[in-house]
Structure 1
Amino acid sequence: MKPISILLVALLSVAPFARADHPFLCTDSVAGKVCVVSAEGKIEWEHSCNHPQDCWRLPSGNYLFSHSGGALEMTTGKETVWEYKAGANTEVHACQPLPCGLVLVVECGPCRLLEIGHDGKIAKEIKLTPPPESVKLHDQFRGVRKTQDGHYLVCRKGEHVVQELDGDGKSLREIKVPGDVHEVVPLPDHHLLVTCGDGHKVVELDAEEKIVWELNENDLPGNPLRLMAGCQRLPNGNTVFCNYLGHGHLGEQPQVFELTPDKKIVWQSADHANFKSINQIQLLDVPGDVTKGEVLR
C-alpha cells in the first residue's frame, strides 16, 4: 500500500495545475528559482537565482526577472542577453519591461528608480526619498510600475504606502494602505489593485482612493490570506493572486488561486512537491505586449 500512497500524493500535488489549464511563468523566492509551468503542471524551464521577485515573458519569448542582486533577461535556451548587476548593500525586488528595450528597476539601499537600456547604460535615474531609519534595507521597496501616462507607482513596503511620482520624480500623492504593500497594478479605469503583504488583505482603489473591492484574510473558506504578493488582473475581470507561504506556512495550502469579482475560486494550485512559495506569476496564455502595459500585473 505504501507505493500507492506515494503515487496518490504525487498525483494530488500536480492536479491543481491540471485544473488551471494555464501555462505560466512564476518566481519562488524561498526555493530561489524562476520557472515556466505547462498547463498540465510540468516544469518546462527553470533557472536558479537568489530571491527572485518580478518576472515577465517578453514579446521576443525571452524571460525577464529580478532577483536580489539585480535583473536578468534570458532566452528559452538559457542564454543571458541582458543583465543588470546591483552594487553592494543593494537589493532589487521589482522590474518592468518598458518600450524601446528599457527595463525599470527599483533599488533598496541606494533608494532609486533606474531605467536601463539594453546597452547596459542608465537612461534615467530618479532618486526616492529614503524611508525612516527604522525600516530595514530589505523592507524598503517592493513592486514598482510605470504607468501609461509616464508616472511611477512605488510600493514603499515598510512604510505601508503606495507613492505616485510624476515622470521627473516629483511626489504626487502617498496612499496609506493596510499592510506592507508588495504590489500595485494600474488598471485601465484608473483604479489601483494593491496587495498588502502581511496585512493579509487586497484592495482595489478608485481614482479618488476609495476602496471599491477588497479581499480579507478569511473571505475564502479554508484558504486564509497569508502574505499577499504578486497578482494579475485577467481580461474577464478575474484576478490571479499569489498567496506567499514563506513566513511559517509552507506546505499548508494553495500557493496561487484565480478569483472572480464575487470571490469564487476558479482554480487553485498547491504544488508543494516543486514549489515552496510562489510570489509572482504571469499567465502565458493571456494575450498582450508587456512592454506596452497590456498585461495587467
Structure 2
Amino acid sequence: MTIFSKGLLLLMMSPLFLVGQAASLTSENHEIIKNEIKHSFFLAGPNFTGIIGEDGEEIWDSGKKSARDGYVLKNGNILICWADEVREYNKQKKVVFTYSRAEESMELGTAVRLSNGNTMITESGSNPRIVEVNKKGVVVKSVPLKPDTDNIHMQTRMARKLPNGNYLVPHLLAFAVKEYQPDGNVVNVFKTDLAELGGREAENWPFTAIRLENGNTMVTLTHGNKVVEFDSNGKVVWKVSNSDLEGTPFVDPCGAQRLPNGNTVIASYGAQKGIKLFEVSPDKSMVWSYEGHRAHHFQILTTNGKPLKGTPLK
C-alpha cells in the first residue's frame, strides 16, 4: 500500500477524509466555491513539516521544522529537504536515507527521487551544483551551476530533472531559469526581468520552475508576487498576480503545483496570517485556500478523498 493507492494508507488512518466527487474546472464551468474543494497535502514550512488532512488537521509530523522541499513517494515514504540535510522516512517514521551538506556554509535547496532510485539534490555554496546521490548517499553525478552570484542563500531553489535528462534550475539573482545539460552546459534561459513583468525593479526572483506537459514552463516569482507561464521561446503566455485576485493573497510565493485539472496551487511563504496556500483556475478565479501553517513548498495529495494521479508537477 502507498499514499497514492489502495486507500491512502497514511492518510486514511484519519477520519478526516471525506470521499466525494472531485471538483473539476473547465472553461464552461467555473461555478465552484471554496468549501466544495478539500485537499490533503504534504507541507514543508518554517513551523511545521508533515501532512495536513482535508479538514486542516495535522496527521503526520516530521518533528523537524523549516523544511524547504519534499515529496510523498509512491511507496508511501516521505522525502524531505532541509538546508542542512535530506531525509527519507518510511511508514514507521524510521529514517531510511540521509544526505548531509559537507560544510556549514552550504545550503541544500531541493530533493527529488528519480526514476532510477537516485536522489537529486541542489547544493548552494562556493561550488554550486546539482548532485545525484545513490541509495547509500554516495554522489554518482555532479552538475555545475551558474547562478551569477556568490550570495549562497540566493543562488538557487527548486530544481527539477526533465524527461530529456536536462535540469531546470531557477536562479534568483540572475533573474533567470536555466536549463542545463548533464555536462553543465546551458541550453535555454527563461528571463524573469522582462519589461512586461516590471523589469528588475519588480524583483521577479524565480523560485520554483516546473516543466508542464504541454512543454511550457511555469515559474513562481517570489518578491515579484506573480506566477507566470512561459512558452518554449520564453514568451509569457499566462500570468496571475495580486491584481487578478481580491485580498492580495500573493506574499512572496515560493512553491507551486499544477494540478491535473489545470488549476494551480500557490504557496504564499511570506504570509504571516490569512491565506498561506491557494488554488486558482486558468481564468484566475480562486477556488480553494488554506490559512493554517506557512508553506515553503508542498504537494497536493488528494482532492475530496481521491488521490491525485500521475507525477506531481511541483
TM-score (norm 1): 0.85
Task: State the identity as a percent.
Answer: 28
2:215 is the counterpart of 1:190: yes
2:295 is the counterpart of 1:278: yes
Q: Which is richer in helix?
A: 1
Alignment check: 8 A CA contact 1:18 1:39 kept: no
State the partner residue of 1:11: none
| Secondary structure class of the residue paired with 1:65 | strand
State the partner residue of 2:257: 232
2:119 is the counterpart of 1:100: no
2:114 and 2:161 mapped to 1: Cα distance? 8
Q: CA deviation at 1:132?
A: 2.9
- Counterpart of 1:171 (choices 186, 202, 205) is 186
Amino acid at match of 2:138: K
Q: CA deviation at 1:94?
A: 1.1
- Counterpart of 1:85 (choices 96, 100, 116) is 100
The 5 A counterparts of 1:60-209 are 60-88=75-103, 89-109=105-125, 110-129=127-146, 131-133=148-150, 136-178=151-193, 179-209=204-234
Q: 1:97 to 1:18 in 2, by over 3 A?
A: farther
Q: Which runs of 5+ in 1 are unaligned?
A: 1-15
| Secondary structure class of the residue paired with 2:244 | coil
Alignment check: 8 A CA contact 1:17 1:269 kept: no
State the partner residue of 2:73: 58
| Secondary structure class of the residue paired with 2:122 | strand
State the partner residue of 1:243: 268
- Counterpart of 2:242 (choices 199, 203, 217) is 217
Alignment check: 8 A CA contact 2:189 2:234 kept: no
2:285 is the counterpart of 1:264: yes
Cα RMSD over matched residues? 1.8
Paired residue total = 266
Q: Which runs of 5+ in 2 are unaligned?
A: 1-32, 194-203
1:151 and 1:288 mapped to 2: Cα distance? 24
| Secondary structure class of the residue paired with 2:296 | strand
| Secondary structure class of the residue paired with 2:173 | helix
1:196 and 1:132 mapped to 2: Cα distance? 18
Q: 1:93 to 1:17 in 2, by over 3 A?
A: farther
Q: CA deviation at 1:96?
A: 1.1
Alignment check: 8 A CA contact 2:110 2:159 kept: yes
Q: CA deviation at 1:18?
A: 7.0
| Secondary structure class of the residue paired with 1:202 | strand
| Secondary structure class of the residue paired with 1:138 | helix
1:147 and 1:100 mapped to 2: Cα distance? 13
- Counterpart of 2:53 (choices 38, 53, 57) is 38
Q: CA deviation at 1:17?
A: 9.6
Runs of 4+ in 1 over 6 A off after TM superposition: none
Q: 1:279 to 1:20 in 2, by over 3 A?
A: farther
